[in-house]
Amino acid sequence: MKAVLLVNNPLTTLEGYRGLGLLGSFKRHLKHISKFYDKIYLLTSDRHKFKLVDRVIHVPLGLPSMPKALRILFCYLLGTLKVFSLARHCSFVRADGGTIEVHAILGAKMARKPIVISFRYFNPAYHYGRGLLEDILASLFLVIVKFCLTGSDKVIALTKSLRRIAIQLGVDPSDVIVAPILIREERFNPSAYDKEALKSKYGLRGRKVVLFVGRLSYEKNVDVLIRAFSELVKEHEEARLLLVGGGEDEPKLRELCERLRITNKVIFFGQVPHERVPELLAMADVFVLPSKAEGLPKALLEAMAMKKPIVATFAPGIADVVRPGVEALLVKVGDEKALARAIKKVLSDAGLADRLAQRARETFEREYSYERLYEKVGPLMRKFITFSFG
């Protein structure tokens, strides 16, 4: 029997996927990969068992509600034993998440089974520079990430930059494979949407829509975008900022809008099912990603697929995908004035916006289109289970 054990990181749950509107996409992902295995075990730190698809067995650790640090510790302790028990019946173990799946590494080694791990983003980069406690946490994460990377038999890096980091941390170059996210054109098809009709639907007729899609969290720098937007609307009164997503920073960001007196111009759209993202992108006049750091930013790829002009930062992960002045206008991380100028430039220069959008779509088709690239990279994706499920 050909079986595989999938292990999520301690903080990623199916309950969380459901809250983000991603559970349906994840089930489709599992249904697709289940074609190649007789049985798939999925280990998560959920409290309750989910019914998924045929041949996929969900194994929840059943952890009660507890602080994040304790949750990770308990997941490592209980998860290692569970991985050891399940891995003995599998061909290999596949860990996916934040490259902090210590329990997957330990359990697989105990069961003497090969393990493949994803390297989606460099976790320490999201913590350094936020104060002493966060710097200590970043150093701890660095130790964990290094342990996970060097303890794996194969590392699947999303970008060339992440591949370089893995090698710098001690992974043999021959054991690191670059496999980017692929996006389906059938779902992100710009010609399938009427931009002006969508603006009317959402009460934004006659407005210039500045769009952000992602978590409202520290590393995304949404506060910088809001400050930049407050400068922009002094000249573009018709502009509206649409923030799609939720996160722990939302209360602070709402307070910032109040202080800047732009609450009537900023729309907190909240979390939406992923199926609605294409139409929200379709009505945008410019997509903005002001992050401090990224892995391979899926929202950016989706904006490229939807043929949108893009303004972003010279941040790790973003610069792997788009080139300054070619697919996007890029500015220094944290520079709100430069960000405002770049957004203003795109909104004021239709020729520039069209060129950026066209080149972004061309690069998407060449580098990230599922329909155009799957035939070439499909065998690799099946072998190491590198499918994206968004």
The model's pLDDT over 179-233, given as tens digits with 9 standing for 90+, comes to: 888 999 999 999 999 999 999 999 999 999 999 999 999 899 999 999 999 999 9
* Nearest-angstrom CA–CA distance, 53 and 208: 42
The pLDDT tens digits of the residues spanning 15-37 come to 988 887 788 888 988 998 898 89
Q: What is the pTM of this model?
A: 0.87
The fraction of the chain above a pLDDT of 70, given in percent, is 97
Alpha-carbon distances, residue 10 vs 18, 154, 235 (angstroms): 16, 20, 46
Indicate the pLDDT class of residue 380, thresholds 50, 70 and 90: confident
**Are the C-beta atoms of residues 5 and 43 closer than 8 Å to each other?**
yes
* Nearest-angstrom CA–CA distance, 193 and 34: 33
The predicted model gives 153-162 an average pLDDT of 92
Tokens read off for 361: 């779509």
Which residues lie across from 313 on neighbouring strands? 331
Location of structure tokens 């949750």: 71
Tokens read off for 159: 């970008």
The pLDDT tens digits of the residues spanning 310-344 come to 999 999 899 999 999 999 999 999 999 999 999 99
Tokens read off for 271: 């979390």
Tokens read off for 340: 């405002």
Q: How many CB atoms lie within 10 A of CB 254?
A: 15
Calculate Rg over the CA atoms of the chain.
21
Residue 34 CB contacts under 8 Å (≥ 6 apart), including other chains? 40, 53, 54, 55, 56
- Domain 3-182+370-384 class, CATH top level: alpha beta
What is the pLDDT at residue 129?
Answer: 67
What is the pLDDT at residue 356?
Answer: 98
Which residues lie across from 245 on neighbouring strands? 270
**Are the C-beta atoms of residues 43 and 82 closer than 8 Å to each other?**
yes
What is the pLDDT at residue 64?
Answer: 83
Task: Report the CATH fold assignment for 190-367.
Answer: Rossmann fold (3.40.50)
Closest CA to 335 of 215, 260, 232, 227: 227
Residue 65 CB contacts under 8 Å (≥ 6 apart), including other chains? 47
The pLDDT tens digits of the residues spanning 67-84 come to 888 888 999 999 999 999
Indicate the pLDDT class of residue 387, thresholds 50, 70 and 90: low
Give the chain's mean pLDDT.
92
The predicted model gives 123-147 an average pLDDT of 78
3-state secondary structure the chain: CCEEEEEECCCCCHHHHHHCCCHHHHHHHHHHHHHHCCEEEEEECCCCCCCCCCCEEEEECCCCCCCHHHHHHHHHHHHHHHHHHHHCCCCEEEEECCCCCHHHHHHHHHHCCCEEEEECCCHHHHCCCCCHHHHHHHHHHHHHHHHHHHCCCEEEECCHHHHHHHHHCCCCHHHEEECCCCECCCCCCHHHCCHHHHHHHCCCCCCEEEEEECCCCHHHCHHHHHHHHHHHCCCCCCEEEEEEECCCCHHHHHHHHHHCCCCCCEEEEECCCHHHHHHHHHCCCEEEECCCCCCCCHHHHHHHHCCCCEEEECCCCCCCCCCECCCEEEECCCCHHHHHHHHHHHHHCHHHHHHHHHHHHHHHHHHCEHHHHHHHHHHHHHHHCCCCCC
Indicate the pLDDT class of residue 51, thresholds 50, 70 and 90: very high
Between 79 and 141, the higher pLDDT residue: 79
Residue 56 pLDDT greater than 70, yes or no: yes
In the chain, CATH 3.40.50.2000 covers 3-182+370-384, 190-367
What is the pLDDT at residue 318?
Answer: 95
